[in-house]
Structure 1
Amino acid sequence: MSKILDVVHKSAAGLHKAGLVDQNAMDEFDVLCLQKETEQPIDTKTSYVSTEKNKSL
């Protein structure tokens, strides 16, 4: 895992522990941040962060 993804994941985990990030979002952070570098990239078209609802953000 890259240093940036490690920091992002730790930050998200802290927000989750504080109740500011729900379990579904944390699961998405796990998939995005904990993926091994040798694994294929996930299909972002089906991920939480790229839904039509969130594209306007």
Structure 2
Amino acid sequence: MDAISFGKAGLGGWRASVADAVAGPVARRAPVTDDQVRAAVGALFLALSVTYVVSSVKRLAAR
């Protein structure tokens, strides 16, 4: 599994729409491809989801 595939795993539904909306403009201004921008956005959403789940489990375990 490469980094782009990993990042794209975090995209689905509205998250994919957000990634599609920002991929073009960012890729035109930075030395990256559309796919790399989508992967970065997907990785960000995936990390935020994991953080949310971990904090929820910690709160549950504290009870």
Structure number with bigger Rg: 2
TM-score clears 0.5: no
TM range (shorter): 0.3 to 0.5
Q: Higher relative contact order at CA 8 Å, sep ≥6: structure 1 or structure 2?
A: 2
- TM-score under structure 2 length normalisation: 0.34
User: Higher helix share goes to which structure?
Assistant: 2
- TM-score under structure 1 length normalisation: 0.36
